[in-house]
Structure 1
Amino acid sequence: MIVEHRTYTFRPGTFDGWLKKYETEGLPIQKRHLNRFLGLYVSEIGHLHTTVLMWGYDSLADREARRAAMYADPDWQAFINGVWSLNAIQSQDAMIMNPAPFSPGA
């Protein structure tokens, strides 16, 4: 399994609106397409207004196919357009993480 690790930083005062929209609209769509939701984590100490989202995939090809299907979904397009109109996300970073040979996901 590979893990996609996405970090989002939000403009102060915008996170709660994004989080509610994501939980009620975006996450159900992503779960339909991306399948293996590993979690969403919120910063408490350190770099504030930051979340980390993690999704598991069998391979890069699996990730590519699943994300292409999601991007083609009209429900996702409507959700993401609504997210951009919130003007909440200040920065975004995505990494693909491979497990170490001794990791349970290897």
Structure 2
Amino acid sequence: MIYDHRTYVCRPGTIGKHMKLYADHGWTIQRKHLGDPVVYGAVETGDVNSYVHIWRFEDAADRARKRAAMKDDPDWQAYLAKSAEAGYLVRQENKILTPAPFFKG
């Protein structure tokens, strides 16, 4: 099991607009390919212009397969184009996590 932990930072004052854009054009298609996230939430303390989502995969091959299928989906490409045009995002950080041996989540 691996977890794909992603943090995105929006320009100040645009996180609500970005979340609306994603809710309207990205959420359904991303879940179609990746399943339900473990976590998807806005940061409430610290950098409040950011949000985090964490996805669970069987292994790196499962992650690569699912993300490749999503990347090739025309609806996902349309969402990415809308997101790029809006220009709300300024930074992204991805981390792959492996669970501790005692964690069975």
Q: Which band: TM-score by shorter chain? A: over 0.9
User: Structure 1: which 5+ runs fail to align?
Assistant: none
- Residue 36 of structure 1 contacts residue 57 of structure 1 at CA under 8 Å; is this kept in 2? no
What's the offset of the Cα at 1:35? 1.4
Determine helix, strand or coil for the equivalent of 1:9: strand
Alignment of 1:37-48 (within 5 A): 37-48=37-48
Opposite residue 20 of structure 1, the aligned amino acid is K
Q: CA 1:39–1:24 in 2, change beyond 3 Å: closer, same or farther?
A: farther
Q: Distance in 2 between matches of 1:47 and 1:77?
A: 28
What's the offset of the Cα at 1:39? 2.0
Alignment of 1:62-101 (within 5 A): 62-101=62-101
Superposition CA RMSD, Å: 0.9
Moved segments of 4+, more than 3 Å: none
What's the offset of the Cα at 1:48? 1.7
What's the offset of the Cα at 1:21? 1.3
Q: How many residues align?
A: 105
Q: Distance in 1 between matches of 2:78 and 2:66?
A: 18
What TM-score does the superposition give when structure 1 sets the normalisation length?
A: 0.94
- Residue in 2 that maps onto 1:29: 29
- Residue in 1 that maps onto 2:51: 51
* Identity over aligned pairs, percent: 39
What TM-score does the superposition give when structure 2 sets the normalisation length?
A: 0.95
What's the offset of the Cα at 1:24? 2.2
User: Structure 2: which 5+ runs fail to align?
Assistant: none
Determine helix, strand or coil for the equivalent of 2:32: helix
Determine helix, strand or coil for the equivalent of 2:38: strand
